[in-house]
Structure 1
Amino acid sequence: MSDFDAFLEIRRQAAEAYVNGHAGPLGVMAATACPASFFPPRGGHEEGAEWVANIYARDAEVFCEGGETRLEILHSDSVGDLAYWTGLQHAKVRMAGKPEPVEMHLRITELFRREDGGWKLVHRHADPLAEAGA
Protein backbone atom coordinates (compact mmCIF):
# COMPACT_ATOMS: atom_id res chain seq x y z
CA MET A 1 0.00 0.00 0.00
CA SER A 2 1.39 3.41 -0.97
CA ASP A 3 1.41 6.35 1.41
CA PHE A 4 -1.23 7.96 -0.83
CA ASP A 5 -3.50 4.92 -0.46
CA ALA A 6 -3.16 5.26 3.32
CA PHE A 7 -3.83 9.00 3.02
CA LEU A 8 -7.11 8.30 1.18
CA GLU A 9 -8.49 6.83 4.42
CA ILE A 10 -7.69 10.14 6.14
CA ARG A 11 -9.43 11.88 3.23
CA ARG A 12 -12.52 9.74 3.79
CA GLN A 13 -12.56 10.72 7.46
CA ALA A 14 -12.24 14.40 6.53
CA ALA A 15 -15.22 14.06 4.16
CA GLU A 16 -17.28 12.51 6.97
CA ALA A 17 -16.37 15.35 9.34
CA TYR A 18 -17.16 17.93 6.66
CA VAL A 19 -20.73 16.75 6.05
CA ASN A 20 -21.24 17.08 9.81
CA GLY A 21 -20.18 20.72 9.78
CA HIS A 22 -16.54 20.23 10.79
CA ALA A 23 -14.13 21.74 8.26
CA GLY A 24 -11.02 21.31 10.44
CA PRO A 25 -9.80 17.97 9.02
CA LEU A 26 -10.21 19.24 5.45
CA GLY A 27 -8.49 22.49 6.43
CA VAL A 28 -5.45 20.52 7.61
CA MET A 29 -5.10 18.92 4.18
CA ALA A 30 -5.88 22.06 2.15
CA ALA A 31 -2.96 23.45 0.15
CA THR A 32 -1.07 26.27 1.82
CA ALA A 33 0.78 27.36 -1.32
CA CYS A 34 -0.53 28.39 -4.73
CA PRO A 35 -1.68 27.25 -7.12
CA ALA A 36 -4.86 25.92 -5.54
CA SER A 37 -8.38 25.86 -6.96
CA PHE A 38 -11.92 24.66 -6.31
CA PHE A 39 -14.78 24.11 -8.74
CA PRO A 40 -17.76 23.91 -6.34
CA PRO A 41 -20.96 21.94 -7.01
CA ARG A 42 -22.96 25.16 -7.33
CA GLY A 43 -20.77 26.26 -10.28
CA GLY A 44 -18.11 28.89 -10.73
CA HIS A 45 -14.50 28.57 -9.65
CA GLU A 46 -12.31 29.71 -6.76
CA GLU A 47 -8.55 30.25 -6.84
CA GLY A 48 -5.74 30.83 -4.35
CA ALA A 49 -4.71 28.59 -1.47
CA GLU A 50 -5.87 30.84 1.37
CA TRP A 51 -9.09 31.82 -0.41
CA VAL A 52 -9.99 28.20 -1.23
CA ALA A 53 -9.33 27.09 2.36
CA ASN A 54 -11.64 29.87 3.57
CA ILE A 55 -14.36 28.76 1.12
CA TYR A 56 -14.11 25.18 2.42
CA ALA A 57 -14.51 26.44 6.01
CA ARG A 58 -17.43 28.73 5.14
CA ASP A 59 -19.27 26.08 3.12
CA ALA A 60 -19.01 23.50 5.93
CA GLU A 61 -21.09 25.79 8.14
CA VAL A 62 -24.28 24.89 6.23
CA PHE A 63 -24.02 21.25 7.37
CA CYS A 64 -25.30 20.03 10.74
CA GLU A 65 -24.54 16.92 12.81
CA GLY A 66 -26.14 13.73 11.55
CA GLY A 67 -24.70 13.61 8.02
CA GLU A 68 -23.00 10.67 6.38
CA THR A 69 -20.98 10.29 3.21
CA ARG A 70 -19.21 7.68 1.16
CA LEU A 71 -16.42 8.25 -1.35
CA GLU A 72 -16.64 5.82 -4.25
CA ILE A 73 -13.12 5.92 -5.65
CA LEU A 74 -13.12 4.77 -9.26
CA HIS A 75 -9.37 5.19 -9.67
CA SER A 76 -6.45 6.89 -8.00
CA ASP A 77 -2.70 7.08 -8.36
CA SER A 78 0.37 8.92 -7.18
CA VAL A 79 3.64 9.62 -8.97
CA GLY A 80 6.36 11.48 -7.14
CA ASP A 81 4.86 14.56 -5.49
CA LEU A 82 1.51 14.48 -7.34
CA ALA A 83 -1.55 12.32 -6.74
CA TYR A 84 -5.25 12.19 -7.59
CA TRP A 85 -8.45 10.31 -7.08
CA THR A 86 -11.62 10.49 -9.11
CA GLY A 87 -15.02 9.01 -8.53
CA LEU A 88 -18.30 9.74 -6.81
CA GLN A 89 -19.32 11.11 -3.45
CA HIS A 90 -22.66 9.98 -2.06
CA ALA A 91 -24.03 11.76 0.99
CA LYS A 92 -27.11 12.21 3.09
CA VAL A 93 -26.69 15.49 4.96
CA ARG A 94 -28.52 17.66 7.39
CA MET A 95 -28.48 21.30 6.37
CA ALA A 96 -29.24 24.41 8.35
CA GLY A 97 -32.81 25.52 7.69
CA LYS A 98 -33.94 22.21 6.16
CA PRO A 99 -36.02 19.90 8.34
CA GLU A 100 -35.33 16.73 6.32
CA PRO A 101 -32.00 15.17 5.28
CA VAL A 102 -30.80 16.05 1.78
CA GLU A 103 -29.24 13.47 -0.55
CA MET A 104 -26.24 14.57 -2.59
CA HIS A 105 -24.49 12.64 -5.35
CA LEU A 106 -21.42 14.33 -6.80
CA ARG A 107 -18.81 13.58 -9.45
CA ILE A 108 -15.41 14.30 -7.88
CA THR A 109 -11.86 14.81 -9.06
CA GLU A 110 -9.24 15.81 -6.48
CA LEU A 111 -5.58 16.57 -7.12
CA PHE A 112 -2.92 16.54 -4.39
CA ARG A 113 0.64 17.80 -4.13
CA ARG A 114 3.16 16.85 -1.49
CA GLU A 115 3.87 19.89 0.74
CA ASP A 116 6.06 19.72 3.83
CA GLY A 117 6.05 15.92 3.70
CA GLY A 118 2.26 15.49 3.51
CA TRP A 119 -0.43 15.36 0.84
CA LYS A 120 -2.27 18.66 0.32
CA LEU A 121 -5.44 19.19 -1.69
CA VAL A 122 -4.63 21.58 -4.55
CA HIS A 123 -7.75 21.14 -6.68
CA ARG A 124 -11.26 19.82 -6.08
CA HIS A 125 -13.83 19.59 -8.82
CA ALA A 126 -17.28 18.60 -7.59
CA ASP A 127 -20.45 18.72 -9.63
CA PRO A 128 -23.85 17.08 -9.34
CA LEU A 129 -24.13 13.58 -10.75
CA ALA A 130 -26.73 13.60 -13.51
CA GLU A 131 -28.11 10.64 -15.36
CA ALA A 132 -26.61 10.18 -18.83
CA GLY A 133 -28.68 11.96 -21.46
CA ALA A 134 -30.54 14.02 -18.87
Structure 2
Amino acid sequence: MSEREEFLVWLQSEFVRAERAMFNGDDGPRRAIWSQDEPVSVLGAWRNAANRAELVEAFEVLSTSFSDCADYAFDLIAFNVLGEMAYTVGYERVSASIDGEPRTFTLRATQVYRRERDGWRIVHRHADKVAGS
Protein backbone atom coordinates (compact mmCIF):
# COMPACT_ATOMS: atom_id res chain seq x y z
CA MET A 1 0.00 0.00 0.00
CA SER A 2 1.40 3.43 -0.93
CA GLU A 3 1.80 6.33 1.55
CA ARG A 4 -1.16 8.08 -0.07
CA GLU A 5 -3.35 4.99 0.25
CA GLU A 6 -2.33 4.50 3.91
CA PHE A 7 -3.14 8.12 4.66
CA LEU A 8 -6.58 7.80 3.02
CA VAL A 9 -7.35 4.69 5.07
CA TRP A 10 -6.50 6.62 8.26
CA LEU A 11 -8.54 9.62 7.10
CA GLN A 12 -11.61 7.57 6.20
CA SER A 13 -11.49 5.59 9.45
CA GLU A 14 -9.96 7.38 12.47
CA PHE A 15 -10.59 10.93 11.28
CA VAL A 16 -14.21 10.31 10.27
CA ARG A 17 -14.91 8.42 13.55
CA ALA A 18 -13.43 11.29 15.58
CA GLU A 19 -15.45 13.95 13.79
CA ARG A 20 -18.68 11.96 14.10
CA ALA A 21 -17.98 11.58 17.85
CA MET A 22 -17.40 15.35 18.14
CA PHE A 23 -20.77 16.06 16.53
CA ASN A 24 -22.26 13.61 19.03
CA GLY A 25 -20.83 15.63 21.93
CA ASP A 26 -17.64 13.62 22.60
CA ASP A 27 -14.43 15.55 21.97
CA GLY A 28 -12.09 12.79 23.22
CA PRO A 29 -11.55 11.05 19.86
CA ARG A 30 -10.96 14.40 18.14
CA ARG A 31 -8.36 15.45 20.74
CA ALA A 32 -6.67 12.05 20.28
CA ILE A 33 -6.04 12.55 16.55
CA TRP A 34 -4.48 15.98 17.12
CA SER A 35 -0.77 16.35 17.75
CA GLN A 36 0.37 16.66 21.36
CA ASP A 37 3.35 18.67 20.09
CA GLU A 38 3.36 22.37 19.32
CA PRO A 39 2.68 24.10 17.07
CA VAL A 40 -1.01 23.34 16.61
CA SER A 41 -3.68 25.80 15.50
CA VAL A 42 -7.33 26.12 14.57
CA LEU A 43 -9.06 28.84 12.61
CA GLY A 44 -12.51 27.43 13.09
CA ALA A 45 -16.05 28.09 12.07
CA TRP A 46 -16.94 28.66 15.76
CA ARG A 47 -13.67 28.89 17.73
CA ASN A 48 -9.98 29.60 17.15
CA ALA A 49 -6.95 28.19 18.97
CA ALA A 50 -3.25 29.02 18.78
CA ASN A 51 -1.77 26.26 20.97
CA ARG A 52 -2.60 22.87 22.49
CA ALA A 53 -4.21 24.28 25.68
CA GLU A 54 -6.50 26.57 23.66
CA LEU A 55 -7.29 23.71 21.28
CA VAL A 56 -8.36 21.39 24.13
CA GLU A 57 -10.51 24.13 25.66
CA ALA A 58 -12.13 24.93 22.30
CA PHE A 59 -12.96 21.27 21.65
CA GLU A 60 -14.36 20.82 25.18
CA VAL A 61 -16.61 23.88 24.84
CA LEU A 62 -17.75 23.02 21.32
CA SER A 63 -18.58 19.42 22.17
CA THR A 64 -21.11 20.56 24.78
CA SER A 65 -23.11 22.23 21.99
CA PHE A 66 -23.31 19.18 19.72
CA SER A 67 -25.47 16.04 20.01
CA ASP A 68 -27.46 13.52 18.01
CA CYS A 69 -25.21 13.32 14.95
CA ALA A 70 -27.42 11.73 12.31
CA ASP A 71 -24.92 12.05 9.47
CA TYR A 72 -21.31 13.09 8.86
CA ALA A 73 -19.52 12.89 5.52
CA PHE A 74 -16.17 14.27 4.45
CA ASP A 75 -16.15 15.00 0.72
CA LEU A 76 -12.46 15.10 -0.12
CA ILE A 77 -11.64 17.57 -2.91
CA ALA A 78 -7.83 17.40 -2.86
CA PHE A 79 -5.03 15.94 -0.75
CA ASN A 80 -1.37 15.12 -0.88
CA VAL A 81 1.23 13.36 1.24
CA LEU A 82 4.69 14.92 1.17
CA GLY A 83 7.05 12.89 3.35
CA GLU A 84 6.07 13.47 6.98
CA MET A 85 3.39 16.07 6.11
CA ALA A 86 0.00 15.89 4.40
CA TYR A 87 -2.95 18.15 3.70
CA THR A 88 -6.62 17.79 2.85
CA VAL A 89 -9.19 20.12 1.37
CA GLY A 90 -12.85 19.20 1.40
CA TYR A 91 -16.41 19.69 2.57
CA GLU A 92 -17.75 18.31 5.83
CA ARG A 93 -21.48 17.68 5.56
CA VAL A 94 -23.11 17.37 8.97
CA SER A 95 -26.57 16.68 10.36
CA ALA A 96 -26.53 17.08 14.15
CA SER A 97 -28.18 19.04 16.90
CA ILE A 98 -26.61 22.29 18.06
CA ASP A 99 -27.81 23.32 21.50
CA GLY A 100 -30.66 20.83 21.09
CA GLU A 101 -31.87 22.13 17.73
CA PRO A 102 -31.46 19.78 14.72
CA ARG A 103 -29.33 21.35 11.99
CA THR A 104 -27.80 20.41 8.69
CA PHE A 105 -24.77 22.39 7.55
CA THR A 106 -21.64 22.21 5.44
CA LEU A 107 -18.16 23.27 6.50
CA ARG A 108 -15.36 24.02 4.08
CA ALA A 109 -12.25 22.53 5.73
CA THR A 110 -8.52 22.57 5.06
CA GLN A 111 -6.26 20.59 7.37
CA VAL A 112 -2.53 19.97 7.73
CA TYR A 113 -1.21 16.69 9.18
CA ARG A 114 2.14 15.52 10.52
CA ARG A 115 3.26 11.88 10.65
CA GLU A 116 4.39 11.27 14.22
CA ARG A 117 5.73 8.19 16.00
CA ASP A 118 2.15 6.97 16.68
CA GLY A 119 0.72 7.80 13.24
CA TRP A 120 -0.90 10.73 11.48
CA ARG A 121 -1.88 13.70 13.66
CA ILE A 122 -3.61 16.96 12.76
CA VAL A 123 -1.58 20.13 13.38
CA HIS A 124 -3.76 22.81 11.74
CA ARG A 125 -7.40 23.21 10.76
CA HIS A 126 -9.16 26.02 8.97
CA ALA A 127 -12.91 25.64 8.58
CA ASP A 128 -15.77 27.94 7.79
CA LYS A 129 -19.45 27.47 7.25
CA VAL A 130 -20.58 27.46 3.63
CA ALA A 131 -23.04 30.30 3.07
CA GLY A 132 -26.64 29.15 2.95
CA SER A 133 -26.01 25.90 4.81
Distance 1:119 1:51 in 2: 21
TM-score, scaled to structure 2: 0.87
Aligned length: 128
Deviations 1:79-103 (A, max 9, x none): 11101110101111112243xx111
Contact 1:31–1:120 at 8 Å: present in 2 too? Answer: yes
Report the RMSD for the aligned CA atoms in angstroms: 1.7
Partners of 1:68 and 1:93 within 8 A in 2 = yes
Residue number among 7, 15, 18 corresponding to 1:14 in the alignment? 18
Which letter does structure 2 place at the counterpart of 1:103? Answer: T
Shift of 1:104: 1.2
Aligned with 1:29 (options 16, 28, 33): 33
Distance 2:36 2:53 in 1: 7
- Corresponding residue for residue 128 of structure 1: 129
Give the superposition deviation at 1:68.
Answer: 1.9
The 8 Å contact of residues 113 and 122 in structure 1, kept in 2 or not, is answered as yes
Secondary structure of the residue that 2:16 maps to in structure 1?
helix
1:50 offset after TM fit, Å? 2.8
- The separation in 1 between residues aligned to 2:123 and 2:24, in whole angstroms, is 22
Instruction: Report the 3-state secondary structure (helix = DSSP H, G, I; strand = E; otherwise coil) of the residue aligned with 1:22.
Output: coil
Ranges in structure 1 where 5+ consecutive residues have no aligned partner: none
Residues 20, 68 of structure 1: 8 Å contact kept: no
Alignment of 1:113 onto 2:114: yes
* AA in 2 matched with 1:76: F
More displaced, 51-60 or 117-126? 51-60
Q: Could you tell me how far apart the structure 1 residues matched to 2:46 and 2:32 are?
A: 23
Please give the alpha-carbon distance, in whole angstroms, between the structure 1 residues aligned to 2:52 and 2:69: 29
- Cα deviations by residue, 1:24-44 (Å, 9 ceiling, x for unpaired): 11111111111110011136x
Contact 2:45 / 2:127 at 8 angstroms: preserved in 1? yes
2:79 aligned residue (52, 73, 76): 76
Calculate percent identity across the aligned residue pairs: 26
Give the C-alpha shift of residue 57 in structure 1. 2.5
Please say which of residues 108-117 and 82-91 is displaced more in the overlay: 108-117
